[in-house]
Amino acid sequence: MASTKLTRNHSGAPTSRKKMTWSWWIKRSKLGATQYLYNQYRSADSYNSGVLFQSDDSIRFWDYGAASNDIDLQTTRLFRDVNAWYHIVLAIDTTQGTASNRVKLYVNGVQETAFDVSTYPSQDHQLRMGEAGSAYQQQIGFQGFGSTYQSYFDGVMSHVHYVDGSALAPTVFGSTDATTGEWKINTNPSYTVGNNGFFILKDGNSVTDSSSNSNAFTVSAGTLTKTEDCPSNVFCIMNPLMNYSNGAPTFFHANTRIDGSGSAWLRTCGSLGARTGKFYYEAKIVTYYGDGRPIRIGWDSIDFPRKGADTYYSGFNISSDGYIRGGIKGYNNYDPNATSLGGSFTGGDFLGFAIDLDNDLITCYKNGTVFNNVNGLDISSNSNCSIKNSLGHLVSPSCNWYAVNDNDNVIDFNFGNGAFGSTQLTGTTYNDSQGNGIFKYQPPANYLAWCTKNFNV
């Protein structure tokens, strides 16, 4: 949603401006920047309200009156996990006698009680958030006052509820899993929605209201892409939180596109890893510069990657210039070293990567056809690649590349999310053998998507 804006004119008379509930399931992508989940403003004056991640990664809720914030809560706790989903509930009831009971903020079912700023509303305060009038615009994933100030949410949203007239507990929208102890989504919560309430982004990218109302939103900017990544099944991303000694790449599209610059080798790993099993993922080469700046894609040790200043990258990868390469810290050579890939790849090509961690076998594909020299390749003899030397560590998808300028090399990854960048897969698509993920090409038999459900089969 990094450039996507959902809007609706808040024109109907509210059930209440004293009682309301918001519930979002969100997965963050970008940290250290202002990221709005919701904003409502009136163009005629400065009355507005918002819920956002601040640039320090705390959560803030404010409701602004004529000259000051009538409500301003800013959490002490910071929220910097870009792999997991957060469930955020804001429950408001200004009729309560105790000030701290008038606004309650919950994350994953637990109430936040530590705030760096804690301005609570007066009793029976009527929020700007619920005010009626065609001049009030509701904005989801965005804050904008004309063209003077704009701030988007960079991440993924699902199951966005607004309840007009009731302050609800988070247990309406989620519950604790009896087996795992994790907070999980309630996909069909029961509540009275109220006049201006709505339920959008239910199990997809529809902005049609799924409640008993008809309070649909409009995609007024950007592209709203559907993803298989959801609160009940987390899919792999490329991890922006690694220690990038040579400079970090740039991440887009919920951390499934990478791009980088800087006169050095850059590398990144996926956010999910495995020790055993068979897994498959896809990549599209969006831009390939060539001219000695190859792209190398494959696998690496997620928790034991290259360390120190050695010049050889770790991992086991296929290279755009037509080679199979591998390496590990402390071994100043490649193993294998310049072994023929049996082909090459360039901009516009789609690649597939299948790994059998139980039998040390790897198969790679270009546009649905296997590379002859990487068809069931036995990597057990390549003793100096990081996969063989990880021994108990987790293996994940990885990418290495060399770039000097922005957009030299750009790669989109599909770990089963169902899209390359913002382009949704359409027509004939394929799932893995467990029915998970959406792929452009058929995964090999019994090879699974990189997602949390497949780590528990």
For residues 182 and 129, the model is more confident at 182
Count Cβ atoms below 10 Å from residue 179 Cβ, excluding itself.
7
The 10s digit of each residue's pLDDT in 344-394 is: 999 999 999 999 999 989 999 999 999 999 999 988 877 778 777 766 678
In this structure, of 11-15, 380-384, 407-411, the range with the lowest mean pLDDT score is 380-384
Alpha helices in 337-412 (DSSP H): 386-390
Tell me: pLDDT of 45 over 60: no
Count Cβ atoms below 10 Å from residue 24 Cβ, excluding itself.
24
What are 317's two structure tokens?
């990868």
Tell me the domains of the chain and their CATH numbers.
Answer: 5-221 (2.60.120.200), 250-455 (2.60.120.920)
Average pLDDT on 197-212 reads: 90
Q: What pLDDT, on a 0 to 100 scale, did the predictor assign at position 7? A: 85
283 three-state secondary structure: strand
User: DSSP for 238-249?
Assistant: B-TTS--TT-PP
In this structure, of 123-132, 166-175, 241-250, 447-456, the range with the lowest mean pLDDT score is 241-250
DSSP state of 387: H
Tell me: pLDDT of 289 over 50: yes
What are 308's two structure tokens?
């120190």
Average pLDDT on 65-81 reads: 87
Cβ burial, residue 393 (10 Å; 0-12/13-18/19+):
middle
Average pLDDT on 6-29 reads: 90
271 three-state secondary structure: coil
SS3 content of the chain, % helix, strand, coil (to 5): 5, 40, 55
Integer Cα distance of 90 and 97 in angstroms: 18
Average pLDDT on 102-121 reads: 97
Please state the φ and ψ torsions of residue 157, each to the nearest 5 degrees: -125, 150
Average pLDDT on 195-208 reads: 89
Q: What pLDDT, on a 0 to 100 scale, did the predictor assign at position 440? A: 98
H/E stretch holding 130 reads none
Q: What pLDDT, on a 0 to 100 scale, did the predictor assign at position 308? A: 40
Local confidence band at 310 (pLDDT 50, 70, 90 cut-offs): very low
Tell me: pLDDT of 218 over 80: yes
